[in-house]
């Protein structure tokens, strides 16, 4: 059985990642195949090329939260920089969402350079300095619990138009 993350099995890694994301999402959401949380967790465990280790809490949490954002806003249908190259083949001048690269390099994200934590999310069709998320489909308690903990200086503005196509 191959070992990962400094000597744990794939199953141990999955269990430890589940413990981390259970601090953010409910067990019901994580078990529901129709939920964005389920999709994000499956991506984190099985698909994410970064294959982050459970002890890298900031990476685990940020990647998971941003994957939930991606799936809850139908990210595969985004017209710009979706994870699916076929959906937006030429319009992405940045690293696509859900890439194996550091999240700070993903389209529309900026990070605190010292801490490496996401502090601005801006996705849409407006000029970069004005881009903002227009909607996040999550429960208020879920948002308050992890965005306040993970995404410092996060602002949700421009709620009157959707950048997602």
Report helix angle 57-72 to 10-21, nearest 10.
70
As a whole number, mean pLDDT of residues 12-37 equals: 93
* Long-range contacts (CB closer than 8 Å, 24 or more residues apart) made by 41-44: 41/17, 43/67, 43/71, 43/98, 44/17
Listed range (28-32, 72-76, 96-100) with the worst mean pLDDT: 72-76
Q: What is the pLDDT of residue 152?
A: 35
Q: What is the pLDDT of residue 89?
A: 52
Asked whether 16 and 54 are in contact (CB, 8 A), the reply is: yes
Rounded to two decimals, the pTM is 0.76
Say yes or no to pLDDT of 105 above 80.
Answer: yes
Residues 6+ away with beta carbon under 8 Å from 44 = 17, 21, 52, 60, 63, 64, 67
Q: What is the pLDDT of residue 102?
A: 92
> Which of 90-94, 106-110, 137-141 is modeled with the greatest confidence?
106-110
What is the domain partition of the chain in residue ranges?
A: 3-150
Residues above pLDDT 70, as percent of the chain: 69
Asked whether 110 and 118 are in contact (CB, 8 A), the reply is: yes
Say yes or no to pLDDT of 123 above 60.
Answer: yes
Q: What is the pLDDT of residue 2?
A: 77
> Within 13 A of 4's CA, how many CA atoms are on the CB side?
16
As a whole number, mean pLDDT of residues 148-156 equals: 38
Q: Residue 24: pLDDT band by 50, 70, 90 thresholds?
A: confident
**104: nearest Cα among 91, 120, 88:** 120
């Amino acid at each position: 059985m191959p070992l990962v993350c400094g000597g744990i099995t794939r199953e141990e890694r999955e269990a430890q990642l589940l413990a981390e994301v259970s601090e953010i999402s409910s067990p019901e959401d994580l078990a529901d195949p129709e939920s964005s949380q389920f999709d994000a967790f499956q991506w984190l465990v099985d698909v994410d090329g970064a294959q982050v280790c459970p002890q890298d809490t900031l990476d685990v949490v940020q990647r998971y939260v941003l994957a939930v954002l991606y799936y809850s806003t139908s990210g595969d249908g985004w017209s710009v920089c979706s994870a699916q190259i076929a959906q937006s083949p030429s319009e992405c001048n940045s690293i696509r969402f859900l890439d194996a690269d550091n999240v700070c390099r993903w389209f529309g994200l900026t990070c605190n350079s010292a801490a490496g934590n996401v502090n601005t999310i801006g996705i849409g069709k407006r000029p970069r300095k004005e881009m903002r998320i227009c909607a996040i489909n999550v429960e208020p308690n879920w948002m308050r619990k992890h965005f306040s903990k993970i995404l410092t200086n996060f602002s949700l503005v421009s709620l009157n138009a959707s950048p997602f196509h």
